[in-house]
Structure 1
Amino acid sequence: MSPVNRPPLKKRAAVLLAVTTVAAALASPVTAAAPGAPAPAPAPLKWSNCATSRYPTLQCASLKVPLDHDRPDGRQISLALTRVPHTAARSQGPLLVNPGGPGGSGRTLAGYIASALPKDVAGQYDVIGFDPRGVGKSEPVLDCGAGHFTPVRPDSVPLDEATERANLERVKAFAESCQTKHADVLPYIGTVSAARDLEVLRGALRADKLSYFGYSYGTYLGAVYAKLHPDRVHRLVLDSVVDPAGVWYEDNLAQDQAFDARHKSFLAWVARYDSTYHLGTDPAAVEARWYEMRSALRTTPAGAKVGPAELEDTFMPGGYFNGYWPHLAAAFSSYSVDNDPKPLVAAYEKFGAVEPSAGNSYSVYTAVQCRDSAWPKDWNTWRADMWRTHAKAPFMTWNNAWYNAPCAFWPTEPLQAPDVTNTDLPQALLFQATEDAATPYEGAVSMRRKLAGSALVVEQGGGNHGIALSGNKCLDEKLASYLLTGKAADATCPAQPAPKPLPATRAVPPSAGGAALHGLLGFRG
């Protein structure tokens, strides 16, 4: 998905065995708790100080886990961990936190979560952040090659054969590079392997049970862990929930339509502030001007950096967090009204440009999604589905398609996506905004049905992705209560107010907590 981000293909010879093994493991928690030969107890963790000015009690450690959990005595890899220790006399144990992706680093998130929760709640938990296998400071690190997102890319919408061919060559080259660089580890980069890592981590923490708080893709990782080890779950919080029935190809098609609707909400907001942006008072007219800007950039990219694909990259973060809308609207207005492309280039560099380190997160994103479940291998299927969806949702359908398209050519075979239906868990708590684009609302409803007894807290009218601990007091109170007591009920909270144009809010930016959280969660994850 654009965040949620994608499926894998793996080693040909072992396909049937791999699918059978994983499916059987996920059908039986007892079997899944100890697949293959019994693993030796992990060594206790050695924590060292790695405090920052923002998170003065942060500690770091590393954990060895098997590359292949069915061969626990074989090659070991390492996971990078962080911890904010509990301060209360009585601890409720570890609370693992994950920002999503796949491919997102969770080490800093531990400090954020511990500081954002009420002190009496955070003090009862050891808040544990981690870089999943292949990510960040974990080893080995996946990086399939620099330059995949170097501007100016071919137009994402393939209006002619040459443009489609250029995009296909890009994604095929990326898949081939991953195989060349990481053939030894690609079969073991996936959600099930990552979930089994969490069980090793629980053992290393010497905890009978663990709690888990995941955003975005992290909701799926948490649900898979809970399926494997329901008796090891103390609390389970899932925020901005992946639809487990659609991983990952179908989820991306649903995401395309949701992002288009969210983009229209942004354009309607721009029209509401015509006195600031001068782009018109009619949302449809503002939308037409946005697509006129896109067409102009096809001919003359702004600053030799921002073509149509980069424009989509720049505005897509507005679908994750409306706190970015004033910045994006100002850049849009400067380009379309003032004929000044510099603010648009600056917005691209702030929101759309891929940092060199992001090659790692995208590599893991692709490896996980391409491995987790089957994707169409016939490009004709993709082409037909994308044009059909593009006709209804033109904003980012093709951009998202190319982001995920390496999975059509991935070198390792896909696994069978697990059924996360679970009747053996303690009560779980889900959070979801009704207008979330990255993980549409229907996914939370689907997950709630699968997790028996779970509670769903809905942010009515909200469209941000990642909503707990982002400034909504109603949501945060329900989270705190659940972490303290383990009890929750279905509820509805009002969304936070929409942002105002920048001149009115320079002194106090809208939802500072939301901006901090979304900086950690990132985009497409």
Structure 2
Amino acid sequence: MRRTLLCALAAISLCALFLPASSAGAADVAAKKPGFTPTISWHECASAGLRARGAECGDVTVPLDYAKPDGKTITVAMSRIKHTVPDDEYQGIMLVNPGGPGGSGLTLSVLGEYVPKGAGKAYDWIGFDPRGVGSSKPAVSCDDTYAGAGYDRPRFVPTDKKDENAWMKITHDYTARCAANNGSILKHVTTVEAAKDMDSIRQALGEKTLNYYGFSYGTYLGQVYASLFPSHLRRAVFDGTVDPRGVWYDSNLSQDAPFDKNINIWFGWLAEHDDVYHLGDTQAKVHDLFYDTEEKLYADPVQADGGKLGGSEWSDAFLYAGYYQSTWTGLADVFSAFVNDGDVAALESAYLDASGYGSDNGYAMYLGVECTDTKWPHSWKTWSWDNWAIHAVAPYETWANAWFNEPCRHWPAPSQKAQKIDGKKTDSLLMIVETLDAATPYKGSLYVRSIFPHASLIAVPGGTTHANSLNGNACVDDAIADYLLTGARPARQAGDGPDVECEALPQPEPSVTMLQRQAASGSVRLDMQKAAVRP
């Protein structure tokens, strides 16, 4: 799922809140498991934020290969913020995954602070870096200079063999470095193994069950855990649910049309505020300006501090607008400032923010998990046919998404058979989805609800934001709080739809930055001035 590890590619907008924390604590008693005993080595948290919250950090020792429990071991990094209610009100551990795959969740033990009604206080919140990620050892990395593939990249849409061959070289060089720079860990980073690590954390903490909060890809990890260990799962929250029928080739294809829809919704919003942003007073005009600018940058890239920004960097810079409504104003500032004022620095900042350039672990682990979870088509004819067909109706993200995932066609580790998802034995699940979520389309949530008979689904009609719970929608967040407090879920309704609906948050108003800029310039709006400075 392309860049659902955003925010450190973490698919939620609490990113800025995920500060590390902790102090050392006494070792918990590890539960016995035939052939292997998971243990935790506790230590002070590296993060000042976690230390300030009194968190504990540790490394959980787990088998590299669960089929060989007496063989080589690796470590999974975790943090814990303990419950603050009396012990007789304690409701157990709550593991959190931010998405990706490849997103670091080590500092997500702070998430309990953001649950309304004090509902988070009854749990021990556990943040962890899945195997191969972040502070877990070994951490997978292929090429620290690759993520986003750098500056002035080939045209995403391969209109000729030159661009196609250029991308092929980029991706094949990358997977060759992945093979050279990593050992046996590449064969053991599947979602099934990450789910088994979660159960090892449970055992190491001496708990009979665990609770779970998963965002985006984290909902698939939760589905796999529920299928493998249903009796160990007490309560679970899925926000932005992955459709398990499509992992992972079809899942990525299924994102392209929704992203195209969402970027055009944003164009429409920009047109409504043309008095501020000066990008066109109709959706069509903004649309044309966006793609005209992209073409001009392909023809004549602009020089930024780190390198040249071309059309591919332009496209990536605005990807968040398809993910999060909260980014609309900031990215509108970037669009307007570049087109109207020639502001290259703002464009470069947006590109670096979206691409993850210079931090390879997230991208390497994204591929490592998705490429090995299940089989991918190896024939380029299949990829080409599928992506050209979708591009014809959804041009914005289709080919960018294809090249982002194309390394799975020749990934240097074997793929496995996808885990069968079975929700019949899961006693309790609460799901949330905005119906225009592009990264995890709505139909996936409806399907997962259908195979988890004890699930309730909260839908947010018309919402375009991905995996955004605990970010200010009281209707959603209060329902989560009630569920964590008492286990009460919205009553299951007959049929295949949601069980309750919450109104979407209102679309944002133009940013203060642009309003101040407008005031300082005397609100001048001249098309000829725009044409003069537009690259």
- The TM-score, its normalising length taken from structure 2, stands at 0.85
Partner of 1:28: none
Distance in 2 between the 1:373 and 1:434 partners? 27
Distance in 2 between the 1:101 and 1:3 partners? 7
> Contact (CA 8 Å) 1:87, 1:124: kept in 2 or not?
yes
Partner of 1:389: 390
The one-letter code matched in structure 2 to 1:128 is I
2:507 to 490, 498, 503: 498
Partner of 2:431: 430
> Contact (CA 8 Å) 1:191, 1:224: kept in 2 or not?
yes
> Contact (CA 8 Å) 1:3, 1:216: kept in 2 or not?
no
Partner of 1:100: 99
Distance in 2 between the 1:226 and 1:464 partners? 26
1:366-445 equivalences under 5 Å are 366-445=367-446
For residues 133-170 of structure 1, give each alpha carbon's deviation from its aligned partner in whole angstroms, at most 9, with x where no partner exists.
00000000100112222112111111110110000111
SS in 1 for 2:319: helix
> Contact (CA 8 Å) 1:427, 1:487: kept in 2 or not?
no
SS in 2 for 1:152: coil
Q: In 2 relative to 1, CA 160–407 (structure 1 residues): closer, same or farther, beyond 3 Å?
A: same
> Contact (CA 8 Å) 1:84, 1:110: kept in 2 or not?
yes
> Contact (CA 8 Å) 1:305, 1:345: kept in 2 or not?
no
Q: In 2 relative to 1, CA 50–352 (structure 1 residues): closer, same or farther, beyond 3 Å?
A: closer
> Contact (CA 8 Å) 2:40, 2:59: kept in 1 or not?
no
Distance in 2 between the 1:497 and 1:212 partners? 29
Distance in 1 between the 2:413 and 2:249 partners? 17
> Contact (CA 8 Å) 2:276, 2:514: kept in 1 or not?
no
For residues 322-372 of structure 1, give each alpha carbon's deviation from its aligned partner in whole angstroms, at most 9, with x where no partner exists.
1111121122223333444443233324x334242x200100000100001
Distance in 2 between the 1:256 and 1:400 partners? 8
Distance in 1 between the 2:97 and 2:133 partners? 12
State the 1:119 CA deviation.
Answer: 6.0
Distance in 2 between the 1:249 and 1:86 partners? 40
The one-letter code matched in structure 1 to 2:100 is G
State the 1:491 CA deviation.
Answer: 1.2
1:327 to 321, 327, 330: 330
Root-mean-square deviation over aligned CA pairs: 1.8
The one-letter code matched in structure 1 to 2:131 is R
1:43 to 39, 44, 51: 39
Distance in 2 between the 1:341 and 1:77 partners? 44
Partner of 2:354: 352
Partner of 1:60: 57
> Contact (CA 8 Å) 2:294, 2:314: kept in 1 or not?
yes
For residues 421-480 of structure 1, give each alpha carbon's deviation from its aligned partner in whole angstroms, at most 9, with x where no partner exists.
221111200000011111111111111112122000011211111221011111010001
Distance in 2 between the 1:119 and 1:88 partners? 13
Distance in 1 between the 2:376 and 2:255 partners? 16
State the 1:109 CA deviation.
Answer: 1.6
SS in 1 for 2:48: coil
1:294-305 equivalences under 5 Å are 294-303=294-303, 304-305=307-308
Distance in 2 between the 1:339 and 1:41 partners? 60
Partner of 1:70: 67
The one-letter code matched in structure 1 to 2:116 is P
| More moved, 392-401 vs 42-51 | 42-51
> Contact (CA 8 Å) 2:270, 2:279: kept in 1 or not?
yes
Distance in 1 between the 2:341 and 2:40 partners? 61
The one-letter code matched in structure 1 to 2:392 is A
| More moved, 369-378 vs 306-315 | 306-315
Structure 1: which 5+ residue stretches go unaligned?
6-36, 508-525
Partner of 1:109: 108
> Contact (CA 8 Å) 2:42, 2:56: kept in 1 or not?
no
Partner of 1:17: none
> Contact (CA 8 Å) 1:50, 1:59: kept in 2 or not?
no
> Contact (CA 8 Å) 2:195, 2:221: kept in 1 or not?
yes
Q: In 2 relative to 1, CA 416–445 (structure 1 residues): closer, same or farther, beyond 3 Å?
A: same
Q: In 2 relative to 1, CA 472–165 (structure 1 residues): closer, same or farther, beyond 3 Å?
A: same
The one-letter code matched in structure 1 to 2:90 is S
Aligned residues: 473
State the 1:505 CA deviation.
Answer: 9.1
State the 1:320 CA deviation.
Answer: 1.5
- The TM-score, its normalising length taken from structure 1, stands at 0.87
The one-letter code matched in structure 2 to 1:105 is S
Partner of 1:91: 90
Structure 2: which 5+ residue stretches go unaligned?
6-32, 491-498, 517-535
The one-letter code matched in structure 2 to 1:87 is T
State the 1:174 CA deviation.
Answer: 1.2
Q: In 2 relative to 1, CA 263–49 (structure 1 residues): closer, same or farther, beyond 3 Å?
A: closer
The one-letter code matched in structure 2 to 1:292 is D
1:126-137 equivalences under 5 Å are 126-137=124-135
